[in-house]
A and B are shown apart, each in its own frame.
Chain A
Amino acid sequence: MPPWIERQRHLMDYTLAAMARRWGRNLGLVAVYTLLVFVLASVMMFTDAIQREAGQLLEQAPEVVVQRMVAGRHDLISADYMDAIAAIRGARQVRGRLWGYHFDPVTAANYTFMVPAANAPPAGRVHIGAGLARARGAAVGDVLSFRGHDGALFSFDIEGLLRAESEIITADAILLSEEDFRAFFGIRPGLFTDISLQVRNPREVTKVAEKIVERFPDTRPILRSEMQRTYASLFDWRQGLVLTVFAGALLAFAILAWDKAAGLSAEERREIGILKAVGWETTDIIAMKTWEGALVSLTAFLLGVLLAYGHVFGTSAVMFEPVLKGWATLYPRFVLTPHVDLFQLAVLAFLTVVPYTAATVVPNWKTAVTDPDAVMR
């Protein structure tokens, strides 16, 4: 082995032997540091994975959804609008959508009632999301009863369950027929929740949306690109919670670094003096301390990232569930497709390994350049 490698390994041996003297403290340090990286990397990976998931799923969302606004509220839209919108050049597949919410006192959860565009169940029957089925303990063949808009009891036979793997989009869904929907919510024929449409030429989407607003000033078109952007900024760094996590973590890290950088104990100074006196150069001491910082922070970084990967993709970010759940009683179970953004990982590595190593090396620097005869005085 070339002497320079052997020399670095000697320095590593020394710093490890020195760290082993206070193994409890150093192990604790690695543990805290790992936890820090774990939390940051978990947030990062989860955010990235869910943003990608949403982006891919919403590629299939309607190109434009048109809402009608009444006194600042989303209101039902008349079928007349549909005909007029269909007449706009470029608009196609204009369809009235029927969907809405119902609060179920049994589970204290909100469900989303929807009428599918095609293959809707026959009257009296429903298809339900897997999350809902879990919350109600319901299975195919069971009967679900809800009170409708007028207090009348509606009973639906469960004809089918939506696949569990689709919970991230359908956990709370109840698919039912149009006539059941209208009867349940008391919505007259000719009224819809909103209108969805596709646009022939994707480059004309904005133009079509503008024409719709021009024609109906009381409407608000929502573009697919806007839907995707909403989810692309989900858990964005600006959001409160993520910011709070980051701020807390960075503060903890700053305290850690400050504590290290605040200076060396008399004992540490004396040891550096001894090393210099027995023939170590300033660069040897700096290299030795660099190894200390690099080994601690690198181990913590690698361990933290690996644990975060297991947490996000193995356990579906079980620790973030309370946050995502919020006040909801119904929460989807879903598996995220493993994906890690290497650039983000590199940024995280840079933000954790480098400052810690610097905080370890810098206070030693000043001590290391003192005269080697200091120990004799």
Chain B
Amino acid sequence: MTNRQTHPPPIRRRRPRPSNLAVGVTGGLALALAGTLAAAALSNEEAAARMARNQALVAALELTDLCLFTEARYTRHLTQADLHTPFQDAPFSLDHFPSGSVVPPPPGITRHAPMD
């Protein structure tokens, strides 16, 4: 055996325990998510007030649709599109991609309800 051990062992740099690090990170993320979800679940007065004002506007203007896709009449007023617009051929219709691919044909146009 060598006699190197007569030297005092160097002071070891204390590294954090890996599992502490991992539990800290995942635990921290989990807490952050829980906090976010809790904050979202609590009633948001500002959002509620905004919704109430917008609902009043819907009632006053007798609106039937959201203003999401303004490129064509059958996408601007999805619910008002007549039964013969090309848009309703299929949800994949490429002439209206991508708007056409995120909205289904209006209910009543297909034989069964669109959500079954």
Contacts and interface: CB of A to CB of B under 8 A. Distances in A.
Chain A directly contacts chain B within the complex, with at least one CB pair under 8 Å? yes
Given A171-B70, A230-B107, A306 B33 contact: yes
Interface in A46-60: 50, 53-54, 56-60
Contacts of B107: 226, 229-230, 233
B21 to A, nearest CB: 7
Nearest to B30: A302
A231 B77 CA distance: 11
Given A168-B67, A324-B68, A328-B70, A67 B22 contact: no
Interface in B55-91: 55-73, 75-76, 78-80, 82-84, 91
B54 A165 contact: yes
B82 A72 contact: yes
Contacts of B84: 72-73
B58 A60 contact: yes
Contacts of B33: 302, 305-306, 309
B67 A337 contact: no
Contact of A306 (B32, B41, B56, B91): B32
Contact of A110 (B50, B61, B76): B76
B60 A302 contact: no
B108 A118 contact: no
A242 B53 contact: no
Contacts of A170: 57, 61, 63, 67
Given A72-B84, A73-B84, A196 B62 contact: yes
Interface string A120-152: 000000000101000000000000000000000
Given A69-B82, A116-B61, A239-B104, A168 B70 contact: no
A95 B47 CA distance: 31
A16 B21 CA distance: 10
Interface in B8-59: 17-19, 21-23, 25-26, 29-30, 32-33, 36-37, 39-41, 44, 47, 50-51, 53-59
B54 A57 contact: yes
Contacts of A309: 33, 36, 40
Contacts of B71: 110, 326-329
Given A227-B79, A236-B115, A222 B98 contact: no
Contacts of A162: 57
Nearest to A116: B61
A220 interface: yes
A62 B99 CA distance: 25
A60 B115 CA distance: 23
Contacts of A175: 61
Interface of A: 9-10, 12-13, 16-17, 20, 50, 53-54, 56-62, 65, 67, 69, 72-74, 95, 97, 101, 109-110, 112, 114, 116-119, 129, 131, 162-163, 165-173, 175, 194, 196, 220, 222, 226-227, 229-236, 238-242, 244, 295, 298-299, 302-303, 305-306, 309, 313, 322-332, 335, 337-340, 342, 345
26 contacts: A13-B18, A54-B66, A56-B51, A57-B51, A57-B58, A58-B58, A67-B82, A72-B82, A73-B82, A73-B84, A74-B80, A101-B76, A110-B73, A112-B67, A129-B67, A171-B67, A173-B67, A227-B64, A231-B79, A241-B101, A298-B26, A302-B33, A323-B102, A325-B69, A338-B44, A339-B40
Given A60-B55, A327-B71, A332-B68, 19 more contacts: A57-B51, A59-B55, A60-B58, A73-B84, A165-B54, A172-B70, A173-B61, A173-B67, A226-B79, A229-B107, A229-B114, A240-B100, A306-B36, A323-B98, A324-B99, A324-B102, A326-B71, A337-B50, A337-B51
